[in-house]
């Protein structure tokens, strides 16, 4: 009996070749899927960066401390929370040391790479009252080091200054109503960036009400329907005034703000607040009209 070894070898070779081709094809499909998935992830990341850049630009060009709505629901603030709030940051997002003070001492962008994972994550969560995350990795990708360093320095310097002034006085309690801290800071000549906002929202100054347990009774916490109604009224009155005062001319917010400047000093009529409310009102009336 003669064995046709060459035919057997040829058949084995063909089988191995087919298996290799099948494996190559499977690997090719896996590679194509990985490339596609990475491309999709890259696009998602690019979109996130665009959205974050837009948010950062909005925070830098304007200041809307909307996180204060939650803080003004409390009857009292602790000293630590109050001093951080007066500096424009959300205390809930600030990492503290053993003495309950911000861990920003000597912090600079040049040393962020030396932090461990937990420290890095803590700084990623830091937020100003308008939601701006100065130390988040995504923010550091968009803004240069000197600008971030100046933001850190401004907070650290402002906080330490307020802390020293507070510690120099006599305070019998560990917590006080928000108005107490605002009056105290105002009496010391401290600049409170969100003070106009607090006045406009009815949290401080003439017309401010005491904190209620019902959120919808808060001046700064209107129900959605009520806020929409007020914005529609403001937008409608703005259009009526502009049409009467400037017949045939296209609406200009800057011109209107210039005309309203004579009311500067009244609560709620700061340029920043007017810009915000007029923009929302005109958007509301144009979207529903």
User: pLDDT per residue over 106-130, tens digit each?
Assistant: 555 555 555 556 666 667 788 999 9
Q: How many CB atoms lie within 10 A of CB 132?
A: 19
- Give the pLDDT mean for 258-287: 77
Band of residue 259 on the pLDDT scale cut at 50, 70, 90: confident
Question: Quick one: pLDDT at residue 60?
Answer: 77
- Give the pLDDT mean for 76-90: 93
Nearest-10 Cα torsion for 288, 270, 84, 109 = 80
Alpha carbon distances (Å) from 88 to 91, 97, 132, 154, 156: 9, 19, 10, 10, 11
Q: What is the DSSP string of 30-66?
A: HHHHHHHHHHHHHHHHHHHHHHHHHHHHHHHH----T
Where helices occur in 211-252 by DSSP H, the ranges are 224-245
Q: Taking the model in full, what pTM does it have?
A: 0.56
Distance CA 84, CA 162 (A): 9
Question: Quick one: pLDDT at residue 166?
Answer: 93
Question: Quick one: pLDDT at residue 220?
Answer: 46
Identify the DSSP state of 175. E
Task: Tell me the CB-side half-sphere exposure of residue 12, using CA atoms within 13 A.
Answer: 6
Percent of the chain residues past pLDDT 90, beyond the cut = 27
Question: Quick one: pLDDT at residue 3?
Answer: 82
Residues 123-149: tens digit of each pLDDT: 778 899 999 888 887 887 777 778 777
Identify the DSSP state of 252. -
Is 175 a residue whose pLDDT tops 80?
yes
Distance CA 265, CA 50 (A): 37
Of 61, 56, 193, nearest to 127 by C-alpha is 56
Band of residue 222 on the pLDDT scale cut at 50, 70, 90: low
């Amino acid at each position: 009996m003669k064995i046709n070894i060459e035919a057997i070898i040829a058949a084995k070779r063909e089988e191995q070749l087919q298996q290799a081709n099948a494996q190559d094809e499977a690997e090719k499909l896996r590679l194509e899927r990985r490339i596609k998935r990475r491309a999709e992830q890259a696009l998602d990341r690019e979109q996130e960066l665009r959205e974050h850049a837009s948010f950062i630009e909005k925070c830098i060009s304007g200041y809307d401390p909307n996180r204060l709505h939650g803080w003004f629901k409390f009857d009292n603030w602790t000293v630590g929370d109050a001093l951080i709030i007066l500096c424009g940051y959300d205390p809930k997002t600030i990492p503290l040391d053993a003495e309950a003070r911000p861990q920003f001492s000597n912090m600079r962008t040049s040393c962020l790479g030396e932090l461990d994972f937990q420290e890095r994550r803590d700084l990623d969560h830091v937020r100003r009252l308008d939601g701006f995350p100065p130390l988040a990795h995504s923010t550091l990708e968009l803004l240069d080091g000197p600008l971030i360093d100046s933001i850190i320095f401004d907070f650290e310097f402002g906080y330490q200054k307020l802390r020293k002034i507070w510690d120099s006085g006599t305070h019998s309690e560990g917590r006080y109503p928000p108005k107490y801290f605002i009056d105290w800071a105002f009496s010391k000549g401290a600049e409170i960036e969100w003070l106009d906002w607090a006045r406009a929202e009815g949290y401080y100054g003439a017309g401010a009400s005491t904190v209620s347990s019902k959120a919808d009774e808060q001046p700064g916490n209107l129900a959605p329907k009520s806020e929409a109604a007020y914005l529609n009224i403001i937008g409608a009155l703005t259009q009526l005034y502009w049409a009467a005062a400037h017949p045939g001319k296209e609406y200009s917010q800057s011109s209107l703000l210039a005309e309203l400047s004579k009311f500067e000093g009244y609560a709620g009529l700061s340029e920043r607040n007017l810009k915000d409310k007029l923009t929302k009102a005109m958007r509301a009336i144009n979207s529903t009209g």
